[in-house]
Amino acid sequence: LGALNREIKDCLRCGKCKPVCMTHIPRANLLYSPRDKILATGLLIEAFLYEEQTRRGVSQQHFAALNDVADHCTTCHKCETPCPVDIDFGKVSIHMRNILRARGEKSFNLGTRLAMSYLNATEPGKVHLLRRGVLQTAYNAQALAHKIAKPLLPKGPPPATTGKAPLRAEVIHFLRKPLPTDMGVQTMRQLLAIVDDKTVPIIRDSAKVTDDSDAVFYFPGCGSERLFSQIGLATLAMLHHVGAQTVLPPGYLCCGYPQTAGGHEDKGQEISVRNQVLFHRVANTLNYLDIKTVILSCGTCMDQLLQYQFQQIFPGCRLLDIHEYLMEKGVALEGVEGVQYLYHDPCHTPM
């Protein structure tokens, strides 16, 4: 608790973090902006200390309140930029989740548990089974339930709430919008027949590759590889189009961010170290390619891989989002007619 207090003690209560926070919805309540969560955290720390010092026993309600504060954060880290004292409540939330997990007080959520099992899986058979048996089944079931319930759902925004919403409100919110069902039948590695974790795939167009062609290392991550394989395939197609030699890591890998952000810091650290050792072996094996660019198509992976020691793996390399790399190569859409689309910069922006 002392370390947690040191992270938030300098807050000026200015509220500059409110406009950029994803969980600050003034129409619903005023409890979950970083400023107000810091106030709540400070009060909870005082409550813990008071009950410990008076030997009254620690109330379980305090752990429930701490879970409520910790769960209302997407860890996008956008609150750090406007903060005059550089408080990153994303890091504070991760710290709180680790405290709760270490003491066995983290709230249980079946969906979170299943999602974490899927992300932790590295064996191809287990990944494919969980994707087809759990993920696709759940997504299709929710989309069907949305279709059936849509005429019956109330219109307009949900009511304002503090704390846990009533079951009826949760069901309505869950069915209000359909989950995507166009995930594709197979993962990116299944479609490319590169599921073997003992093989390092290299994808290139022999007609375009020259001695001056770029060699890039593409880390697809869970979102672009296991969930929405179209993203990974599109990234590989564009790299193939510009004549780059694309090296993929062997096997299914997660960057470790979801585990760390979810309170499993030890598991996230284990994954990060294991990945870096594997990347080092890939770099030593393919040192003739002189890889200088690491490509990503996921902002969450970018956030985590920035903490990897890539300068020790691929000396002189840089981490780039695929869009930035394509812009460098002069890839653009000009004079295109038809439907116009608005690009929504994600919460975990890679730019």
Condensed to tens digits (0 to 9), the pLDDT of residues 93-107 reads 999 999 999 988 888
Q: What percent of the chain has pLDDT over 90?
A: 62
Q: Cα–Cα distance between 318 and 119 in angstroms, integer?
A: 26
Question: Strand 318-321 to strand 202-203: parallel, antiparallel, or no bridges (unpaired)?
Answer: unpaired
- How is the chain split into domains, by residue range? 2-102, 110-176, 188-328
Kindly report the number of other CB atoms within 10 A of residue 97's CB atom. Answer: 24
Closest by CA to 100, choosing from 124, 71, 127, 126, is 71
Q: What is the mean pLDDT of the chain?
A: 90
pLDDT number for residue 180: 86
Residue 56 confidence (pLDDT):
77
- Residue 17: is its pLDDT beyond 90? yes
Is domain 188-328 classified as CATH 2.60.120? no
- pLDDT category at 20 given cuts 50, 70, 90 is very high
Q: What is the pLDDT of residue 305?
A: 93
Instruction: Report, as an integer, the average pLDDT of 18-35.
Output: 90
Q: What is the pLDDT of residue 311?
A: 92
pLDDT at residue 350, as a whole number: 63
Task: Report d(CA 279, CA 284) in Å as an integer.
Answer: 9
Backbone φ and ψ of 319, nearest 5°: -100, 125
Instruction: Over range 97-118, report the average pLDDT.
Output: 89
pTM of the model: 0.87
- Supply the pLDDT for residue 254: 94
DSSP run (H or E) holding 301: helix 299-305
Q: Report residue 149 as tokens.
A: 């319930």
**CATH of segment(s) 2-102:** 1.10.1060.10
Distance CA 136, CA 144 (A): 12
pLDDT at 351 over 70: no
Looking at per-residue confidence, does 39 or 164 come out higher? Answer: 39
pLDDT greater at residue 320 or residue 337 = 320
pLDDT for the residue 215: 93
- Dihedral, CA of residue 289, residue 295, residue 300 and residue 306, to nearest 10: 50
Query: Residue 148: what pLDDT?
Result: 94
